[in-house]
Amino acid sequence: MRERDRVFHLSCAWRLTSGNRGFTLIELLVVIAIIAVLVSLLLPAVQQAREAARRTQCQNNLKQIGLALHNYLDTHQVFPPAYLGSPVNAGSAFGVNYPDDNRNGASGLGWGVMILPFVEQSALYGQFDSTIPLWAPQQNAALKSKVAVFLCPSAAGGSDGFTLRQYTSGTNEEPGDPQPYTPGIFLAHSHYVTMAGTQGPWGRPTAYSSDFSVPEPVPGAGAATIDGVFYRNSRIRMADITDGTSNTVFVGEHTSRLSDKTWVGVVPYAVTCKKVGGVVTDECDSGGALVQGHSGPDLHDHPQVIIHQPNHPAQHSDQLESDHTGGCHCLLGDGSVRFVSQYLDAFVWAGLCTRAGGEITGEF
């Protein structure tokens, strides 16, 4: 055999015995198993990093809101109310009668509208007309506007707005049979609410709903006072917060997984209702709870008074609630943002939600 042919045959033999050798099935399965283990170890770390980024954005939103509230204070010498509304003017406009049992009326514009110029949303602010009812058709485009600073990226349950419902039986204290308005009203979501204090002003009887600054005598329970910084038509000054701004909750989280909230305001007879498994139930609070939360103990629940810290298992539609593990972010009156544990002592939490209760809160 010539030398050239011998080299050719040796080359072919090497390719057959070495060059074409592939993975065995067992080797392939081992490689796949190793990759799966590495992915399973990496995925939680990626998820934690993403949640950390979302939490940081949520904190930054509240810091911007805090700065806006103080800029509003500098301009007007008072903090904005939770929302505006005449308790005495009666009438009907665009399919809605007013005032309702809680004395909610026009205009209904909420705290979020009032601080829009201070969160770089002057153009949107200009679309609202405070001389006409919030629910007027001319306001529809503005009512639906999605504003990033009012949305926590961790919140589940919706951020694209919701169809507002009204109670058609009962009263604001126990609203029943919630139904959509005719014509329909669609509001933008907010994942943040102002703090009304220990009591819920939306649950007051009509006789004590004209002026929320007046204490309401509750038989057998004492006087129910709206003791937070924000409520309808409130005009709270810095000097009114005698507990200290670093010990007073201004704004906190509320995920739309639990109930729908908004920054735009309150429509007479409106409700916000608890959700279970993503389904809206008939367990509702009336209009003011669209833009506010409270801590309890609410004397209207006497003798079964309940203080609901953030993420409380009672799952009230008027409590603070987040989709972060272990608690929620709260904006304090000094502009700082704190993550408040759901395991915080109940009475410390209630004390943090009042503006002038004289409570000693200590560390939290």
Q: Give residue-wise pLDDT tens across range 320-344.
A: 999 999 999 999 999 999 999 999 9
Measured between alpha carbons, how far is 323 from 78 in angstroms, rounded to an integer?
32
Query: Tokens for 68?
Result: 């806006």
Read off the pLDDT of residues 26-82 as tens digits, 9 standing for 90 and up.
878 888 888 888 877 776 666 666 777 888 999 999 999 999 999 999 999 999 999
Residues in Cβ contact with 259 at an 8 Å cutoff, skipping those fewer than 6 apart: 272, 273, 274, 275, 285, 289, 317
Measured between alpha carbons, how far is 141 from 106 in angstroms, rounded to an integer?
18
Measured between alpha carbons, how far is 184 from 182 in angstroms, rounded to an integer?
5
Q: What is the pLDDT of residue 230?
A: 98
Query: How far is residue 257 from each of residues 50, 64, 260, 262, 277, measured CA to CA in Å?
Result: 20, 23, 8, 13, 8
CA atoms within 13 A on the CB side of 293: 35
From first CA to last CA, the distance across the chain in angstroms is 93
Query: Tokens for 353?
Result: 């939600």
Query: How far is residue 4 from each of residues 65, 140, 160, 307, measured CA to CA in Å?
Result: 85, 88, 77, 95
Q: What is the pLDDT of residue 314?
A: 92
Q: What is the pLDDT of residue 145?
A: 96
Residue type at position 236: I
Measured between alpha carbons, how far is 153 from 331 in angstroms, rounded to an integer?
17
Given a cut of 70, the residues of the chain with pLDDT beneath it are: 1-23, 43-49
Q: What is the pLDDT of residue 5?
A: 52
